[in-house]
Amino acid sequence: MKFATDEPNVFNYSDIFFSCYTDNERGCWGMVEDHTLVYVRSGEIVLEEGNTTVKIRKGECVFLRKDNRVSLTKQPGRDEKFIGISLVFKRDFLRKFYQVIDKKKLPLQTRKHARSVISLPQTPAIASLFQSMMPYFDSSTKPTERIIDMKLQEGVYALLEIDEQFYPNLFDFTDPWKIDVLDFMEKNYAYNLTIQDMAHYTGRSVATFKRDFKKVSNLSPQKWLMEKRLNVAQDKLLHEHRKVSEVYLEVGFKNISHFSTAYKKKFGHSPSSITV
């Protein structure tokens, strides 16, 4: 997710993001690109995903699953400023973490969370994790990379203690969850590939490709591609102010008519209405 860069008192230490401000409210929206843990120290956050709204209040924490679009509004309290901390779990970090896990204890039959915005219980592990990070934001001392890595690890352990369903959410890049199919599609969504092509290029039969894809997504490969292309197109139109005539080709549509129809069906308005 892309956060506003003009906020006062904003720090980004590697994959730990801290924001603090005193205005009435600030909002942002877009794609959650990596799994993210968001904690509200003071004030509150209102998250909207489709028709679902989740409010995260002071002392509460929420998990945002990667590859999903959310609207996020940060609001100060009545007599206090907004303070929030986010931990971003990138793929490379999670791969390294996975290497040291005792594979014999993996809950292999557990399916990942269907929701992409998950409110977390107020556990001692979550509370102590974020409380321990505040001194770095209250002073000019920058945490070392080793400290940051330790805090990220602590965040993962806190999630795994809450619910076993976080295992397939966080470690979905290898057996038994085989996210490699999504890796391929993330990099090649704009190309005109058939199911047979996708299966071939990922080293699978069509049946195995479909079965593996079903483990990591609630959508069919075709619907996933459509969602991905439309979401990327919307970002380009809104944030990059690109022309519709350029965007539809870049995201993998063959003709502008099909793109416009699909876009309006998903977002409720034509893509051309954005650039008018």
Instruction: Say what angle helices 180-188 and 221-239 make with each other, to 10 degrees.
Output: 50
- Closest by CA to 11, choosing from 66, 91, 85, 98, is 85
Rounded to the nearest 10°, the torsion over CA 42, 38, 156, 87 is -100
Q: What is the pLDDT of residue 179?
A: 44
How far, rounded to the nearest angstrom, does the alpha carbon of residue 124 sit from its chain's CA centroid?
24
pTM for the whole structure: 0.61
Q: What is the pLDDT of residue 244?
A: 93
Backbone angles phi, psi at 88, to 5 degrees: -105, 120
pLDDT tens series, the chain, 276 aa: 433 434 456 677 788 888 877 666 776 666 687 899 999 999 999 988 777 888 999 999 999 988 777 888 888 888 888 889 999 999 889 988 988 888 777 887 787 777 889 999 999 999 999 999 888 887 777 889 999 999 999 999 999 999 999 988 888 764 444 446 887 888 889 988 889 888 877 767 889 889 888 887 889 999 999 999 999 999 999 888 899 999 999 999 999 999 999 999 999 999 988 754
Distance (Å, rounded) from C-alpha 33 to C-alpha 158?
21
Q: What is the pLDDT of residue 102?
A: 80
Question: Token match 């965007």: residue?
Answer: 247
CA distance from start to end of the chain: 26
Angle (CA) 91-120-130 rounded to 5° is: 70
How far, rounded to the nearest angstrom, does the alpha carbon of residue 95 sit from its chain's CA centroid?
17
DSSP lists the bridge partners of residue 179 as none
DSSP lists the bridge partners of residue 55 as 46
